[in-house]
Amino acid sequence: MSPFSLSGKVAIVTGASRGIGRAVSVGLAEAGADVALVGRDRTALDETVAAVAAVNPQARTAVFEADVTDAAAVDAFVAATVAQLGRVDIAVANAGQAVDGLLMRTKAADFAKMIDVNLTSAFHLVAAVTKPMMKQRAGSIVLMSSIVGVSGNAGQVAYASAKAGLLGLAKSVAKELGSRNVRVNAVAPGIIETAMTESMPEKARAHYLASIALGRAGTPEDVSGVVTFLCSDAARYVTGQTVVVDGGFLM
């Protein structure tokens, strides 16, 4: 069997309704995994189910409408995944939201919301999947960060802080769970063609594109391929790392 195969594996993907989350779900299914899809828009989640079926008609799916900032809700859909699909081998914490603003205009409530949606939600998922993964002595967790979590960015103090927190979470949990063969890594995408970047002013977009070595924005599939690799046995000796997927923007 190819080391890139995920046949027999079960994955949970949060923020699976669209964009990177949908592409990750499809990529994992294409590699052979069954997928539990988590989001807040049932219609969009059903579209992800159809996209998964298109690449792997044999893939089993489970769909959960849930608020990932609610620890009890996260515990519930992880338990339901194990009950419906038999196990959990992969967890991708992709749910997130960006609210931009300069420091002087950022309210404490906005900052707290960014931490809750982007960082605390990932903590809840990691905490929930740790027990089944430790019991089976295997698992791969991927946290979706951002290049602004690596470099910082003016006007995104709250979002960048939350995304930077994911890097510390990944490294710390990787050290805690490594002895149980549970790997934890982060992925830091750059400018990716998603709904989140559609509203970027054209002048700012042109500035960023001019700084990308590959000369183009990325696609959700550019990110999903890296996630699939990190979740496979091909990356069995990779943990505690941050993989930047930005076309050469930060180098």
Report the amino acid identity of residue 35: V
The three-class DSSP label of residue 118 is helix
Cα dihedral 152, 223, 134, 6 in deg (nearest 10): -170
What pLDDT does 180 receive? 97
What pLDDT does 106 receive? 86
Q: Is-contact 191 219, C-beta < 8 A?
A: no
Averaged in consecutive runs of 10 residues, what is the pLDDT profile of the chain (251 residues)? 94 97 98 98 97 98 98 98 98 91 89 96 98 97 97 91 98 98 98 77 82 95 98 98 97 89
Whether residue 159 lies in the annotated active site: yes
pTM (2 decimals)? 0.95
Q: Is-contact 6 33, C-beta < 8 A?
A: yes
CA atoms within a 13 Å half-sphere pointing along the CA-CB vector of 151: 14
CA atoms within a 13 Å half-sphere pointing along the CA-CB vector of 97: 16
Token pair, residue 247, equals: 């076309």
Q: Among the options 64, 77, 123, 159, which is catalytic?
A: 159
> How far apart, in whole angstroms, are the C-alpha atoms of residue 174 and residue 203?
40
What pLDDT does 196 receive? 66
What pLDDT does 195 receive? 72
| Assigned CATH for 10-245 | 3.40.50.720
The three-class DSSP label of residue 139 is strand
Cα dihedral 34, 217, 155, 199 in deg (nearest 10): -80
